[in-house]
């Protein structure tokens, strides 16, 4: 009986060893080696960029990769808001990127820089790109991609830039942060608009758009439009 038990134990151990060995061989097969890299959600991150940034190599086993660590490295790129990396068998890695959306441009160091609504500096503005320019006393003299502009007044301006309806953005050229607080807008025709705070911003935008249409239709040349109180707008 003891010999029979020993034989059964040996057979079981041998089977387990064979299973583990087969599993190890399978995990090291080409089925799990990186052969294809799929990047979606951005045109600014190539496969070569991803490999150089993360240290991943083609032929590397997918299960030797620490995906959360790879995601953190990609998130260091200034234009990346979030990223999700998935293994896709056989032999593929899928990288899904959500980009930061630029809402305005600021001038620093003689260059135009694109920023998102939270004040993250995304990168330099291309000559062909058209964005509202935000100005104010708190803009740093120099900026670099990845920096965050933490001025409360400027962050308010960036928030407004992100909330402006597209049809109204076409009428505007600049958002100004006044030294004493409050926001001013400058139209493409050179008309100054006193916007005030972000309170009732939706109502203010609707009133401003109607006023601009009226001014254009009647070929008027006002000096100032005041919509800080949207219930009582004034045109001077």
Q: In the predicted model, is pLDDT for residue 116 greater than 70?
A: yes
Q: Which helix (H) or strand (E) holds 214?
A: helix 201-217
- Band (pLDDT 50/70/90 cuts) for residue 181 is confident
Tell me what pLDDT residue 201 has.
97
Tens-digit pLDDT profile for residues 165-180: 999 999 999 999 987 7
| Bridge partners of residue 105, in order along the sequence | 114, 133
2-99: CATH number: 3.10.20.310
pLDDT of 13 strictly over 60? no
Distance of CA 203 to the CA centre of its chain: 27
Per the CB < 8 A criterion, the answer to whether 183 and 195 are in contact is: yes
Determine the pLDDT at residue 3: 53
Residue pair 229/220 in contact by the 8 Å Cβ criterion: no
Q: What is the mean pLDDT of the chain?
A: 90
Using a pLDDT cut of 90, give the percent of the chain over it. 81
CA max distance for the chain = 109
Which stretches does DSSP call E strand in the chain? 36-40, 80-88, 92-99, 104-108, 111-115, 121-124, 133-135, 172-177, 183-187, 192-196, 224-226, 234-235
Q: Which two tokens stand for residue 158?
A: 């960036």
Banded pLDDT at 1 (limits 50, 70, 90): very low
- Of 20-29, 89-98, 211-220, the poorest mean pLDDT is in 20-29
Tell me the C-alpha distance between 93 and 210, whole Å: 51
Give 40-99 pLDDT, tens digit per residue.
999 999 999 999 999 999 999 999 999 999 999 999 999 999 999 999 998 999 999 999
- The arrangement of secondary structure in 104-235, i.e. its CATH architecture, is 3-Layer(aba) Sandwich (3.40)
Task: Provide CB contacts within 8 A for 111, sequence distance 6+.
Answer: 124, 125, 143
Q: Is the distance from CB of 184 to CB of 164 less than 8 angstroms?
A: no
| Separation of alpha carbons 190 and 208, rounded Å | 14
Q: How many CB atoms lie within 10 A of CB 218?
A: 7
> Any idea where the domains of the chain sit in the sequence?
2-99, 104-235
Please state the rounded mean pLDDT for residues 192-211. Answer: 97
Nearest-angstrom CA–CA distance, 209 and 69: 47
Residue 59 main-chain phi, psi, to 5 deg: 95, -10
pLDDT score, position 22: 46
């Amino acid at each position: 009986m003891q010999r029979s038990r020993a034989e059964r134990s040996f057979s079981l151990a041998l089977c387990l060893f064979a299973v583990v060995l087969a599993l190890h061989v399978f995990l090291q097969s080409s089925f799990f080696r990186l052969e294809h890299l799929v990047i979606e959600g951005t045109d600014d991150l190539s496969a070569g960029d991803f490999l150089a940034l993360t240290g991943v190599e083609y032929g590397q086993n997918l299960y030797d990769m620490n995906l959360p660590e790879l995601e953190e490295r990609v998130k260091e790129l200034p234009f990346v808001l979030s990223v999700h990396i998935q293994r896709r068998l056989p032999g593929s890695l899928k990288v899904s990127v959500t980009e930061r959306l630029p809402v305005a441009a600021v001038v620093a160091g003689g260059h135009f820089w694109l920023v998102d609504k939270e004040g993250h500096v995304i990168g330099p503005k291309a000559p062909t790109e058209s964005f509202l320019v935000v100005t104010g006393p708190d803009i740093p003299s120099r900026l670099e991609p990845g920096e965050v502009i933490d001025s409360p007044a400027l962050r308010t301006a960036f928030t407004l830039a992100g909330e402006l309806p597209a049809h109204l953005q076409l009428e505007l050229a600049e958002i100004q942060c006044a030294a004493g607080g409050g926001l001013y807008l400058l139209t493409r025709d050179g008309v100054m608009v006193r916007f005030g705070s972000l309170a009732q911003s939706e109502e203010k935008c609707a009133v401003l758009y109607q006023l601009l249409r009226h001014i254009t239709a009647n070929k008027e040349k006002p000096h100032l439009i005041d919509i800080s109180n949207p219930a009582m707008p004034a045109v001077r």
